[in-house]
A and B are shown apart, each in its own frame.
Chain A
């Protein structure tokens, strides 16, 4: 397992370097002179020269990247132009609500999609199966942010049982405050994973060991729980991991709908204030998050299935 972990991490090095390169060059996409753009039209030439120097813009691109990387390794993400504090502390403060929301939404997605997939797979072409298919067709085109607005109207205004926006003060409140946002993300994610899940459950149902379990007279309920559900869980993890980018994108939007103080809402605020170091840092953090989640998925696989460990070696 240790060797597997090392090998897997070694594979990530080029990707992570690529990510830092992309994030570094992102800021160079600013049309014209970044220093001038940052300072606005009233900047004096001396001020521009000074900012160019502090940004390191007067040196070669290679050196600039090395300076950027050196700071990054020390955990220094630069200084926010708008909030007078280091970007790293801003990001750290905003990370927990986003992670909480991601985990919450994932849990709800599994809770909705898995039973639906099993129902649809057990009785192909039944009413359930058709309902799942129709839900997928309409669900694909469901704008998540709009669903959020509708849910706010339904459960916070028309039927005021849930808070409209925010994150809450303690763990219990986090669960109630983030219920609508997490549900919104889950509902727009379910159609994406449902088809693949249904297919994987159907495949599991056809497997030899399921026939064996049935043949030895095991109750259908037990066959389902012990053999089908367990084996179909692995593909479920794959499908969820594949959609992690989509999930994070949804979180960014939904945080803004529900005014959740996470990274996504900070990103939109920073775009409004042209706070480039913060935008850069958040982009980097989200990309690293995707890499880490993919790594974690692979490790879960390897832990569950020894065959994979052997294969990748």
Chain B
């Protein structure tokens, strides 16, 4: 199912390479039909075409909301957990402050200051989102650094860098990766809701949240404009949710119930 969505995002626009933002005012607000399976919006743009072209944007949103947070959080959390003492204390106080804010509120506050748009959205999510990864990786690191294999590596005289990268990283990153699959879904939901509020992707981009917002004004006459992109989000999220469960079972066979 994941393959389907990725293929849709990459191949879809190549196969049907019409412009998803071109206006066809003579064909506005048409209900779903053979010509336009998902109908058209108020500017006559084909809803299916826009959904297909939007797949690339929304998958990219999922990726770029997760990657910076995963990278920063793992590095900061890992180092804090490994070295402990003052560095750890400082990091954890910072984490306490960030988690005191409702996640979404802090993200839109940062976007408010930086200005709306996809890049600023990624920066804002990265600035807030790293804390969950830092917590997870730090906790794993505290356990892993006491393990026999770490002690053995230290006895052999390996450098901290080598122990961290070769021995500890593969062990502590698993839990963060499992978390990142559900975070990917949350990232897409977050990105599309920011698009809906006008803070993420900007019109006329066929981002799904933006499409839902555009269709909202025409809800009574043309409910398909808002309804269909939302259904697509639900379907995509369910696919990734099942994938995440599978990945967790694969990476952590010992806690398989």
Binding site for B on A (CB under 8 A): 14-15, 18-19, 21-22, 26-27, 29-31, 137-138, 140-147, 149-150, 152-153, 157, 244-246, 248-250, 252-253, 256-257, 267-268, 270-272, 274, 276, 279-280, 282-283, 286-287, 290-291
Q: Could you list 17 examples of A-B contacts with CB < 8 Å?
A: A15-B97, A18-B96, A19-B97, A26-B110, A27-B113, A31-B114, A137-B241, A143-B234, A145-B196, A147-B230, A150-B226, A245-B99, A252-B104, A253-B193, A270-B112, A274-B112, A283-B106
Known A245-B101, A256-B197; 5 more pairs at CB < 8 Å? A146-B229, A252-B104, A253-B196, A267-B105, A268-B199
Q: Which residue of A lies closest to B123 (CB)?
A: A29
**CB of B174 closer than 8 Å to a CB of A:** no
A26→B104 contact, CB < 8 A: no
B97 lies within 8 A of A18 (CB): yes
Q: Is B100 in the interface zone, CB < 8 Å from A?
A: yes
- Known contacts A19-B97, A153-B223; decide if A141 and B185 are in contact (CB<8 Å): yes
A144 to B197 Cα, complex, angstroms: 12
Q: Are A143 and B241 in contact (CB under 8 A)?
A: no
Bound: A21/B98 CA distance, A: 11
Given contacts A153-B227, A256-B197, is CB(A141)–CB(B103) below 8 Å?
no
What's the least CB distance linking A166 to chain B, in Å? 16
The reply to whether A290 and B102 contact each other, CB–CB distance below 8 Å, is yes
B86-141 CB contacts (< 8 Å) to partner A: 93, 96-106, 108-114, 116
A287 adjacent to B100 (CB under 8 Å): yes
B247 to chain A, nearest CB (A): 15
Q: Which residue of B lies closest to A268 (CB)?
A: B197
Q: With A14-B93, A29-B113, A268-B197 known to touch, is A19 a contact of B101 (CB < 8 Å)?
A: yes
Of all chain B residues, the one with the shortest Cβ separation from A280 is B109
Contact A26 B196 (CB under 8 A): no
Determine how close the nearest CB of chain A comes to the CB of B236; give it in whole angstroms: 7
> Is B27 in contact with chain A by the CB < 8 A criterion?
no
Which of A14, A22, A143, A276 has a CB less than 8 Å from the CB of B209?
A143
Roughly how many angstroms separate A222 CA and B189 CA in the complex, as a whole number? 42
List the 10 closest pairs (A to B, CB-CB), nearest first. A141-B237, A249-B104, A146-B230, A18-B97, A245-B102, A248-B102, A271-B112, A283-B109, A286-B105, A287-B101
Please report which residues of chain B, range 67-103, place their CB below 8 angstroms from some CB of chain A when the two chains form the complex: 93, 96-103
Q: Do residues B238 and A244 form an inter-chain contact, with CB atoms below 8 A?
A: no
Q: Which residues of B contact A27 (CB under 8 A)?
A: 113
In the bound complex, residues from chain A placing their C-beta under 8 Å from that of B226 are: 146, 149-150, 153
Alpha-carbon separation in the docked complex, A253 to B102 (Å): 13
User: Which of the candidate stretches B6-14, B144-152, B156-164, B212-220 sits at the interface with the other chain?
Assistant: B212-220
B93, B209, B223: which has the most chain A beta carbons within 10 Å? B223
**Distance (whole angstroms) from the CB of B32 to the closest CB of chain A:** 15
Q: B227's contact among A30, A150, A245, A250, by CB below 8 Å, is which?
A: A150
CB neighbours (8 Å) of B99 from chain A are 245
Whether B51 is near chain A, meaning CB under 8 Å from some CB there, is no
**B residues within 8 A CB of A14?**
93, 96
Q: A146 vs B237: C-alpha distance in the bound complex, in angstroms?
A: 14
Kindly list chain B residues whose C-beta atoms are within 8 Å of the C-beta of A291. 100
Contacts of A18 on B, CB cut-off 8 Å?
93, 96-97, 100
For B98, list chain A residues within 8 Å (CB): 22
Contacts of B227 in A (CB 8 A): 149-150, 153
Question: Shortest distance in angstroms between B233's beta carbon and chain A's nearest beta carbon?
Answer: 5
Residues A137 and B103 in contact, CB atoms below 8 Å apart: no
Judge whether B182 is part of the interface by a CB distance below 8 angstroms: yes
B96 near A140 (CB under 8 angstroms)? Answer: no
Q: How far is the CA of A278 from the CA of B199 in the complex (A)?
A: 17
